[in-house]
Structure 1
């Protein structure tokens, strides 16, 4: 599995220039001390409760929230206190304005089936088994696959003797048989869009996924390790979490809380 953050919410140059024109002193906060995500979150949250215009909130209220220590005793700035209050009060629709786009590579179709059950706040563009050919002689060189951790190191008893064999060997043999059947069907003139029916849940795929912060927090809460999630998707949840935190460090508390 490989997860890369392709893009995430950023302030426009026009908006930053607008802040500077309104309040030159706030330019330092926005360009050096405040992440783009924090500025967007503050704008969305305070728009719900402030008589001010959304385009002016960071300029006129930013110093108050980003420049003062949190009054709830939990650390960070007043903005952090506000963000905590919003999450605890479940007014998290305001976090939907922050989006993250990921390249997700080498995950199983079994994981994909689980992942795409998360529909609200998610967008998916998935490698097609209809248009991408997975024959041994195609550019793909055949289909890749994901071996579940539970298969690795396990031993299976032979049904007709007292002997044992490797579960991973058996798994790999099954994948090889699927590949051979796919190849034979293609040679027989079966189109790839129909031959793909024999490819297994273990077959690997790639996708681009975009999700907003609220959706990612809810996904992580449901799919993180220890909540009954399958190992592969729990690992994906951790990878997504780390990518978001690296881009917007202030979000860490909401994944861990």
Structure 2
């Protein structure tokens, strides 16, 4: 039988020189200079060194980024992207997550091609336990028993010659999956504004939103303020 899974999120890769790329994209819209000169020249360093002219914290580059966020000219942030490994999330979360399509790319572990049979590599399908089920002993025991019954049903169908793509119909919404996801910064900020904790999103996708924010800010600390505004 499969086992319980918990969410794991890893940042695999992101745009090098992200801050400088964002600056170049923004200034391209307002400067007579060519983008190659903006990226390679001294203008970025001047903005970095000068105090913010709006009287707020940071450099004038920070002031420029604040202006872009506040004015809604966030298409300039689409040039920065992040690629994540997202593991141990439910099919419920997948259905919610893929509603956010613009600016996202998803590659999801297939139930059609990857076997969830007990005698295969995965050792059965893995599943997510909602905290409110796990917190009630009797409910948790019933849930686990049901997962075992569904595993037996899947194994039996496969044994009878049913292909994986049809046997998977008995697997639950709670079945865990893995994916590689890439999103640009504009899309991530929009996603976070809708799914972050406290906005009424379901617990699992709210947890994912917070994990994505944490990983991005660890890599690019200057972005923390923009998630706070989301």
Both proteins in one fold, TM over 0.5: yes
Q: Which residue of 1 aligns with 2:93?
A: 111
Once the two structures are TM-superposed, the CA of residue 240 in structure 1 deviates from its matched residue by 0.3
Match among 11, 15, 27 for residue 5 of structure 1: 11
Q: Which residue of 1 aligns with 2:119?
A: 137
Match among 170, 184, 196 for residue 198 of structure 1: 170
Tell me the distance in 2 between the aligned counterparts of 1:106 and 1:181: 22
Tell me the distance in 2 between the aligned counterparts of 1:145 and 1:74: 47
Once the two structures are TM-superposed, the CA of residue 72 in structure 1 deviates from its matched residue by 1.3
Work out which structure has the larger RCO, using CA pairs closer than 8 Å and 6 or more positions apart in sequence.
2
Once the two structures are TM-superposed, the CA of residue 150 in structure 1 deviates from its matched residue by 1.3
Match among 220, 223, 226 for residue 248 of structure 1: 220
Tell me the distance in 2 between the aligned counterparts of 1:109 and 1:77: 43
Q: Which residue of 1 aligns with 2:187?
A: 215
Alpha-carbon RMSD: 0.8
Tell me the distance in 2 between the aligned counterparts of 1:3 and 1:73: 37
Q: Mapping of 1:54-73 within 5 angstroms?
A: 54-58=35-39, 59-73=41-55
Q: Mapping of 1:12-31 within 5 angstroms?
A: none
SS at match of 2:106: strand
TM-score by length of 2: 0.95
Give the gaps of 5 or more residues in structure 1. Answer: 11-35, 156-165
Structure 1: 4+ residue segments shifted above 6 A: none
Once the two structures are TM-superposed, the CA of residue 60 in structure 1 deviates from its matched residue by 3.5
Larger Rg over CA atoms: 1
Once the two structures are TM-superposed, the CA of residue 154 in structure 1 deviates from its matched residue by 2.3
Q: Mapping of 1:37-56 within 5 angstroms?
A: 37-56=18-37
TM-score by length of 1: 0.85
